[in-house]
Amino acid sequence: MIKGNQLYEGKAKIVYETDNPNELLVYFKDDATAGNGAKHGTIQGKGVINNKISTFFFKQLKDHGVKSHFIETVSPCEMLVKKLDMIKLEIIVRNVVAGSLVKRLGLPEGTPLAVPVIEYDYKSDELGDPMLNRWHIMALNLATIDEMNQIEHMSLAANAIMREILKAKNVDLVDFKLEFGRFDGEILLADEISPDNCRFWDTETHEKLDKDRFRQDLGGVEEAYQEILNRLTL
């Protein structure tokens, strides 16, 4: 694999071409942002940790039938992935009331939901990633009904698998964000699965072990990320 030109730099990752037109190299950064980019900072070691955690979950999900863009880890901060035609949606799966859901539902943080809730956001920095429903998605031609059914099925399957894995590690999966893309006629899971886009709480203490520690200035951010990695892999 030969690293090529930079294609894209986002808030948490840099994407490069490779000598294979169907593969990309993803570099995980230590940079951190919150509030749609209003808050900036650095979480030391985040790139390595997020690469390892994402690799762990992608492998576990594949073993349980949920396919992703992941091919292999090629360095501490880099993974090789399939080049997808990305669907411009963020899929949020919620198990417990937290974040924006507190205000929208008027329920206390930490309230368990009777069933997992799926939400869709339009992936657009310019518009602030507004929430959509299926009708918006079809009207904008972002995905077909069949693709949305596949995405929901895969999202709920990933939720069930990850919750079971984390339960054994004394961690609750409060909510998380997923992205998907198309590859050779298939819908595949993409992006990452890490404390950057998941809410992980200690089951007993409800201590936050994710990016909320950065968002809310709680301190101990690096330690929280490392704790999740340790629980998953040690």
| Average confidence score pLDDT of the chain | 96
Cα separation of 192 and 37, whole Å?
A: 18
Cα separation of 69 and 169, whole Å?
A: 26
Question: Is the entire prediction scored with pTM above 0.85?
Answer: yes
Q: What is the CATH number of the domain that holds 51?
A: 3.30.200.20
Looking at the structure, tell me whether residues 68 and 105 fall in a common domain: no
- For the cut 80, the answer to whether the pLDDT of residue 14 exceeds it is yes
**Spatial contact of 82 and 23, defined as CB atoms under 8 Å apart:** yes
Final residue before a domain boundary, out of 62, 82, 102 = 82
Looking at the structure, tell me whether residues 95 and 39 fall in a common domain: no
pLDDT of residue 104: 95
Final residue before a domain boundary, out of 57, 82, 107 = 82
Looking at the structure, tell me whether residues 44 and 89 fall in a common domain: no
Looking at the structure, tell me whether residues 224 and 111 fall in a common domain: yes
Which domain covers residue 51, as residue numbers? Answer: 3-82
SS3 160: helix
Cα separation of 11 and 32, whole Å?
A: 7
Looking at the structure, tell me whether residues 124 and 194 fall in a common domain: yes
pLDDT in tens, 107-132: 999 999 999 999 999 999 899 999 99
Looking at the structure, tell me whether residues 68 and 113 fall in a common domain: no
